[in-house]
Amino acid sequence: MAGRRATSPPLREGHRAVPLAGIALALSIACTPAMGAPKTDVVVLRNGDRITGEIKGLDRGILSFKTDAMGTLSIEWPHVARIETAQYLEVEQTDGNRSYGHATDPAAEGSVVLGAEDSTDTQAPLQMESIVRITPISEGSWLDHIDGHASLGLSAASANEDRQVTVSADMTYKAPRRSWTMTYEAARTESANNPVSERQDLNGIHRWFRSERWYWAATAGLTTNDELDLNLRSLIGAGLGRYWLQSSNHAFSTLGGLVFTNEEFEGEQRQENVEAILQARYEFFHFDNPDVDLSGQVTLFPSLTVSGRVRSELSLKARYELVKDLYFELSYIRSQDNQPPNDDAEQNDWSLSSSLGYKF
């Protein structure tokens, strides 16, 4: 989770996440007393500091830790020497293995020992440098498991009275053995010499994690693009994916499966298609000051209905933290269709934009 740094270098103060949709409901929930786990968990830092609170989770090298006196802290995982908690945890390692239990048993510095609350049996110590994610099970509010980002970009030029507005948002919910992510991208371009052009893309993916870093996925999406004469494309599908690399700084995954699409192009009848989906995604995140978040994703859609037709989507993003939770974002998005149903339609549409964003 993103957060701001406190006076001590290992600590960064975080914020409770608020979903983009249902703001009124979220605010009413946020105003009610939280019914989370008792704040009796302990984090011992390598410099000897000992903090009491509630473990909310570990992801991307940041341990989210809720305290009464200092709010929610974001603690850099390499600075943690030991954790103690009676919460039931799901602990995921770099090799994809998951372990479960309570971290109440004594452990040497740099390791975690999990055991059952009603048993003296314990598992072998887990080395902390091999742990990439910790999720408390059945503890705290579902809001604590949501991360998100929203950005807005504006640009203008006097020559052709060009004006462009871009909006980007994403939200991820993470729970034991599953997660879902929603993304939204939109752009509106106005020019004195050209008609208004709009592009909107809404996508969602739900992952069910299996052993050995494999996962099942279900995906759905809606797309409109004036540049490609695409009035609406709806998509739904499923596939099998795997994380080939997963650490506190890197993640690389691939996904393959089938999708069913329904397309409406300008001047053309509605068409239904079956396509394969082949996707690769790489992420790099650097949590030291300043925060840097890089991601790249390429998706191919070879058609199984129209011979020789291949669609592709490319997304490259870079986020750089300016001040606490406020980011400068540079993004490149490209859509390509080598055989659009409308012969007069463009085959390519790309955009390069900069914006300011907020991470929560």
19-38 average pLDDT score: 41
Do 337 and 347 form a contact (C-beta atoms < 8 A)?
A: yes
**Phi, psi angles (nearest 5°) of residue 159:** -55, -55
Q: Where are the domains of the chain?
A: 3-140, 146-359
Do 200 and 166 form a contact (C-beta atoms < 8 A)?
A: no
Q: How many CA atoms lie within 13 A of 141 on its CB side?
A: 16
pLDDT at 3 over 90: no
pLDDT at 235 over 90: yes
pLDDT in tens, 82-128: 999 988 898 988 888 888 888 887 788 889 988 865 555 667 889 99
137-175 b/e with 16+ CB inside 10 Å = b?
eebbbeebbbbbbbbebeeeeeeeeeebbbebbbbbbbe
Return the pLDDT at 247.
84
pLDDT in tens, 326-350: 999 999 999 999 998 888 888 999 9
Class of domain 146-359 (CATH, top level):
mainly beta
Return the pLDDT at 232.
96
pLDDT at 16 over 70: no
Rounded CA separation 360/357 (Å)? 10
DSSP state at residue 124: P
Return the pLDDT at 157.
66
Enter the tokens of residue 223.
């797309």
